[in-house]
Amino acid sequence: MEKLIVTGGRPLHGTVDIGGAKNAAVAIIPATLMADGPCVLENVPVISDVSILMDIMQEMGAEVHAMSSHSYVIDSRDIKNCEIQDENARRMRASYYYLGVGLSKFGKASVALPGGCDLGARPIDQHLKAFEALGAKTDVDQGIVYVDAGSGLKGAHIFFDIVSVGATINAMLAAVKAEGRTILENVAKEPHIVDVANFLNKMGADIRGAGTDVIKIRGVSSLKGAQYSIIPDQIEAGTFIAAAVATGGNVKVNNITPKHLETIISRMREVGAEILVDEDSLTVTRKSVLCATNVRTMPHPGFPTDMVPQFSVLLSMAEGTSIITEGIWSNRFRYADELRRMGASFTVDGKIAVISGVERLQAAPVMSTDLRAGAAMVIAGLCAQGTTEVSGVEYIDRGYEDFVGKLSRLGADVKRIQIPDPVSELAAIG
C-alpha cells in the first residue's frame, strides 16, 4: 500500500505538460479492435486505467507494442470474440465499451458489469436501449452483460432519455457498421465524444455531428487501421489550474485545447484566478483573495462534475459562502468528511453542498474516496498548514499520469511512500 505525504505552504511555480485525455483513451483503445488492420495511438496517458485496457486487449489476443511511453501499435486482427468476464473488466467503468465494439465487430459480446469510482448509481439502461434499438438482444445474468445482434444490426433513430457520455459513445461504436442510417439524439457533447468520432472517421466510419445534440451515422462495411493522437485531458488541465490558484502560484499549463476549458477558465476567473490563454497553453496566477461562488454541474459545455472536488478546495478557502449543485452523480460529495477533517466548513444535503470559506485548511490524514476526490485532497494538502497524508493513491493513479512528479517539478513538497501492509507485518511477527 502507498500513501502521499503532502506538506503545505509552497505556491506552485513552473510549467506542466498535460497528457492525453483519459476518457477519450478508454474508448479509443477498445475501438481499435474494430479495425481490419493495426492502429497507431499517440498521446496515450500513462495511467492505470489504460494499463488495464492494454492487458484486456492482450488477453483477448491483440498484439500491443509500445513505441514510446505514450504511443502504441495495437493489432487486433487475431481477436476472435469479445467475451471479457474476468476481474479486469470489473476493475473499470470503460470496459462497457467492449459491448458496442463486440457488437460491431462480431455481432455479439459479453462483458462483466463495469466497476469504476463509486459516485452513486451507475446504470447502463441507456446503453442497452441503444443496442436494442439497433436490433440486438440484451441480457444481464449473474453480473455479466450479454448483447447479441443475431442477424445483424440495422440503423435506427434513437432518442436518449438522459444525456450520457458512455451511452453516446457505445451507441456510436455499435452503429458505425450497422446497415443504413442511425440518428442519435440528446447525446453527450464532451470533447472526448468528438475525439472518439474523429478516430472512428479516420478508420473509415461516416459519423457527423459529434459535439452537437444530434449525431448522424451512415453504416460502412469495414473499418481500417488508423494513426491517431488523443486530445489533451481537460480535467487534468483543470486540476493543475485549481492547484495553482489554490496555492497562489504561477503556472504555465502546456498542451491544452483552450476551447475545451472555457467553462473551467471562466469559473476559475470568477473565484480569483488570472488566466492568460495562448494557442495551446495558458498561464494561471491568483489575482485576488479567493471569492465564493455558486456552481451547478451539467453535461458539456456546462461545468464538469469531474472538477467539483478540486473546485471545492478553492471554495473551502474563499471569502463567503458557496453552493455547489451536483447535476450528474448522486454521490459526488463522498469526500466532504475528508475536507471537514482538514477544517473545511462543508455541509451536504443530497446533491447540494454548502461551503463556507475558512482562512486556512489544516493538515490531517485523509482518504481518496474516488479519482477526482484524491486529486482534491492533494491540492488541499498543498494549501494546508502541516503535513497531510493522503491514502487511496490507487484512485489517483487511475487517471493522473505521474501526479507526484508533475507537482514536485512545480515545487510542491509531495512524496509517495510505501506503508506496511498490516497482514504481512503480522505474518512476519508470527
Give the residue among 353, 272, 263, 252 at the shortest CA–CA distance from 309: 353
Determine, following the binding rule CB under 6 A, whether residue 126 of this chain makes contact with ligand EPU: yes
* Residues 297, 163: Cα–Cα separation, whole Å: 13
Contact pattern for ligand EPU over residues 6 through 45, marking x by CB under 6 A: ----------------xx--x-------------------
* Residues 181, 173: Cα–Cα separation, whole Å: 14
Member of 111, 124, 205, 307 binding ligand EPU (CB under 6 A): 124
Determine, following the binding rule CB under 6 A, whether residue 90 of this chain makes contact with ligand EPU: no
Residues 133-162 that bind ligand EPU (CB under 6 A): 162
79 vs 371, beta carbon nearer ligand EPU: 371
Q: Which three cell numbers stand for residue 234?
A: 481537460
Determine, following the binding rule CB under 6 A, whether residue 289 of this chain makes contact with ligand EPU: no
List residues bridging with 182 in a β-sheet.
217
User: Who's near 252: CB < 8 A, 6+ residues apart?
Assistant: 14, 15, 16, 281, 282, 283
Member of 240, 329, 333, 400 binding ligand EPU (CB under 6 A): 329
Min dist CB 29 to ligand EPU, Å, is 12
Which DSSP string do the residues of 152-169 spell out, in sequence order? --B--EEE-SS--HHHHH
Determine, following the binding rule CB under 6 A, whether residue 230 of this chain makes contact with ligand EPU: no
Instruction: Report helix, strand or coil for 428.
Output: helix
Member of 12, 47, 117, 313 binding ligand EPU (CB under 6 A): 117
Determine, following the binding rule CB under 6 A, whether residue 394 of this chain makes contact with ligand EPU: no
Determine, following the binding rule CB under 6 A, whether residue 324 of this chain makes contact with ligand EPU: no
Determine, following the binding rule CB under 6 A, whether residue 399 of this chain makes contact with ligand EPU: yes
* Residues 49, 365: Cα–Cα separation, whole Å: 26
232 vs 399, beta carbon nearer ligand EPU: 399
Determine, following the binding rule CB under 6 A, whether residue 237 of this chain makes contact with ligand EPU: no
Min dist CB 96 to ligand EPU, Å, is 8
Write down the catalytic residue from 82, 117, 291, 383.
Answer: 117
Min dist CB 387 to ligand EPU, Å, is 27
Q: How many CB atoms lie within 10 A of CB 303?
A: 21
Determine, following the binding rule CB under 6 A, whether residue 95 of this chain makes contact with ligand EPU: no
Determine, following the binding rule CB under 6 A, whether residue 305 of this chain makes contact with ligand EPU: yes
Determine, following the binding rule CB under 6 A, whether residue 165 of this chain makes contact with ligand EPU: yes
Determine, following the binding rule CB under 6 A, whether residue 125 of this chain makes contact with ligand EPU: yes
Position with the least CB separation from ligand EPU: 166
Q: Which residue has the cell 455541509?
A: 347
* Residues 362, 28: Cα–Cα separation, whole Å: 41
Torsion-angle region of 324 (φ positive above 0: left; ψ -120 to 50: alpha; else: beta): beta
Q: Between the CA of residue 205 and those of 32, 94, 173, 221, 229, what are the distances in Å?
A: 13, 21, 10, 9, 17
Residues 177-196 that bind ligand EPU (CB under 6 A): 188
Q: What are phi and psi for residue 373, nearest 5 degrees?
A: -65, -35
117 part of the active site: yes
CB of 228 within 8 A of CB of 201?
no
Q: How many CB atoms lie within 10 A of CB 159?
A: 12
Mark the segment that binds ligand EPU (CB under 6 A) among 115-123, 147-155, 201-209, 312-320: 115-123
CB of 381 within 8 A of CB of 357?
no
Member of 79, 94, 318, 383 binding ligand EPU (CB under 6 A): 94
Burial of 277 (0-12, 13-18, 19+ CB in 10 A): middle
Size of the site for ligand EPU (CB under 6 A): 26
- Residue 362 is given by DSSP the state B
Mark the segment that binds ligand EPU (CB under 6 A) among 68-76, 78-86, 124-132, 177-185: 124-132
Burial of 73 (0-12, 13-18, 19+ CB in 10 A): middle
Determine, following the binding rule CB under 6 A, whether residue 260 of this chain makes contact with ligand EPU: no
- Residue 231 is given by DSSP the state P
Determine, following the binding rule CB under 6 A, whether residue 108 of this chain makes contact with ligand EPU: no
364 vs 371, beta carbon nearer ligand EPU: 371
Task: List active site positions.
Answer: 117
Catalog residues that contact ligand EPU under the rule CB under 6 A. Answer: 22-23, 26, 93-94, 117, 121-127, 162, 164-167, 188, 305-306, 328-329, 371-372, 399
